[in-house]
Structure 1
């Protein structure tokens, strides 16, 4: 899946924060504080679509964009890719588990006790 650049991440965050697919104009408005050109946002959305991270559907003359996967799915995939970089996942998992908060450790414990 690969890591997102800063601008790609901002665009994805704007999409993940929405309940429904958004037009380029809507995403551009969400990122107005960045001072981006409309065409820059359109280009980023097109590239994210080409990478398979965003899906789009026609709505009249415009496209509506939505994340192809939930934010949690994307983050989990990044974590799995990072784990794949090591020959022995055990030590990396232990190091990770020792670095999380008590609440996060409890969430991990619950997930391990009740796998899908």
Structure 2
């Protein structure tokens, strides 16, 4: 009787860079980890980059289709745009890293069960220098918005509102 052996499947490219646990078993990446790595490459580039460029920069262990899928997700989220240059799709960021970080902070705040408490914890965890900077920025933002809303030249800092029937300023 003749027995034929089938060859073992070749290791997948995307398993090469996959983190492993102590036993050598492949572990899944944390949510958003690959997107963050791809965005880091796109932000670092001075010109639009191709999927192959990103693949090479990340070490080449990820499949081309994995990078392409990640880029499609980033396009869907509005973080990356693609342009066709000659016959190749090239990718560039739609916003700077700092703008992305700010959007992530706002999204996290919206997802918190108690946004005010989350904001309090965030403020308490800031180093003094950053807390002072944030305070100055908030004051400047409040001045900008109150300056456009108050045309009398005197801003109301009492926190009271001019809502009719509430006994606020202007009510008799």
TM-score range, shorter chain: 0.7 to 0.9
Q: CA deviation at 1:84?
A: 2.0
Output one character per residue of 1:38-76: Cα deviation in whole Å (capped at 9) or x when no partner: 332222212322332210111000111012222222221
2:50 pairs, out of 23, 26, 47, with: 23
User: 1:93-112, aligned counterparts within 5 Å?
Assistant: 93-112=119-138
Structure 1 range deviating more: 59-68 or 74-83: 74-83
- Unaligned runs of 5+ residues in structure 1 are none
Q: Normalization by structure 2: what TM-score? A: 0.56
Structure number, greater radius of gyration: 2
Paired position in structure 2 for 1:36: 62
1:11 matched to 2:32? The reply is no
> Does the residue aligned with 2:78 lie in a helix, a strand or coil?
coil
Q: CA deviation at 1:87?
A: 6.4
Contact 2:55 2:61 in 1 (8 A): no
- May I ask how many residue pairs the two structures share in their alignment? 112
Could you say which structure has the greater relative contact order, defined with CA pairs below 8 angstroms and 6 or more residues apart? 1
CA RMSD for the aligned pairs? 2.2
Larger helix proportion of the pair: 1
- Unaligned runs of 5+ residues in structure 2 are 1-30, 145-172
Q: CA deviation at 1:111?
A: 1.5
Q: Normalization by structure 1: what TM-score? A: 0.79
Distance 1:107 1:9, change over 3 A: same
